[in-house]
């Protein structure tokens, strides 16, 4: 079982940067698939990217080249570095993971990111 807590959301102007954090407890982040998702008002939750113990990081086309996922093993924390932000990036961002293969089934509470023009 894993508990996830996101933080770092806030207000930023278009073209700016923001870094989100996801602190995990109960499991070691370096041994897990850790994903980032986002959900805008009235829209379905959308996959943003994921980091894997072995495979290369993988990102949705909409954020590729702008967002980067990384780990800090000492802090058991996963980060989402967001650069060149656009108004369409505005959403609640969620950290997620899974103990076994299959869909993501452990979720954080979310953190709001608002990008103004």
Picking from 71, 34, 29, the residue whose alpha carbon sits closest to that of residue 49 is 34
Residue 82 has pLDDT above 90, yes or no: yes
To the nearest whole number, what is the mean pLDDT of the chain?
97
Average the pLDDT over 57-73 and give the result: 98
pLDDT value at position 21?
A: 98
Residue 72 has pLDDT above 90, yes or no: yes
Picking from 103, 92, 102, 89, the residue whose alpha carbon sits closest to that of residue 15 is 89
């Amino acid at each position: 079982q894993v508990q996830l807590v996101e933080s770092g959301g806030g207000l930023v102007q278009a073209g700016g940067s923001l870094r989100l954090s996801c602190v995990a407890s109960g499991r070691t982040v370096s041994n897990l698939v850790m994903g980032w998702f986002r959900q805008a008002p009235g829209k379905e939750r959308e996959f943003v990217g994921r980091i894997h113990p072995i495979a290369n990081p993988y990102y949705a086309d909409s954020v590729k080249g702008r967002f980067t996922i990384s780990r800090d093993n000492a802090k058991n924390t996963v980060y989402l570095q967001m650069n060149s932000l656009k108004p369409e990036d505005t959403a609640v961002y969620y950290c997620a993971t899974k103990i076994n293969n299959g869909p993501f089934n452990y979720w954080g509470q979310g953190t709001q990111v608002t990008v103004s023009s």
